[in-house]
């Protein structure tokens, strides 16, 4: 299991490294459009979901052609929140953002600043 997680993280590194840059350059709407394009690249056209078969078929397009079936199943399981064995577009987008913690650094700083300001206001008034 640990080896599987390391391989999934290594496979995601390329995307993970560029996701914050893409977000900065494209803005929120542009980033979501890019994620949607990535989803469509991987999805099974008949079901509208990323299935095991569609991921295995399209993995080489992302440089993941050497991954075992178990690794691909692990990638699906990582984002399969509803347990249907496939990824919807929403599940795919959530996983992509989760795999890029740097993407959330700036909003986290905004939240920390807001909490600090509210605390200062509440406790000095």
Cβ neighbours of residue 106 closer than 8 Å, sequence gap 6 or more:
none
Closest CA to 11 of 61, 64, 57: 64
Q: % helix / strand / coil in the chain, to the nearest 5?
A: 80, 5, 20
User: Residue 38 in contact with residue 122, Cβ under 8 Å?
Assistant: no
Could you give the 3-state DSSP secondary structure of residue 87?
Answer: strand
pLDDT of residue 34: 83
Please write the tens of the pLDDT for every residue from 36-92.
Answer: 888 999 999 999 999 999 999 998 887 778 888 998 898 899 899 999 999 999 998
Q: So what's the pLDDT on residue 13? A: 45
For helices 89-98 and 69-79, give the axis angle rounded to 10 degrees: 100
pLDDT of residue 52: 96
pLDDT band at residue 116 under the 50/70/90 scheme: confident
């Amino acid at each position: 299991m640990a080896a599987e997680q390391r391989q999934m993280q290594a496979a995601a590194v390329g995307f993970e490294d560029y996701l914050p840059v893409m977000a900065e350059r494209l803005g929120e709407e542009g980033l979501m459009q890019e994620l949607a394009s990535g989803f469509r690249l991987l999805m099974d056209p008949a079901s509208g979901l990323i299935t095991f078969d569609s991921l295995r078929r399209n993995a080489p397009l992302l440089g993941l052609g050497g991954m075992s079936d178990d690794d691909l199943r692990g990638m699906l399981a990582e984002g399969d929140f509803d347990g249907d064995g496939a990824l919807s577009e929403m599940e795919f987008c959530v996983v992509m953002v989760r795999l890029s913690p740097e993407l959330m650094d700036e909003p986290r700083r905004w939240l920390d600043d807001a909490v600090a300001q509210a605390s200062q206001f509440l406790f000095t008034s």
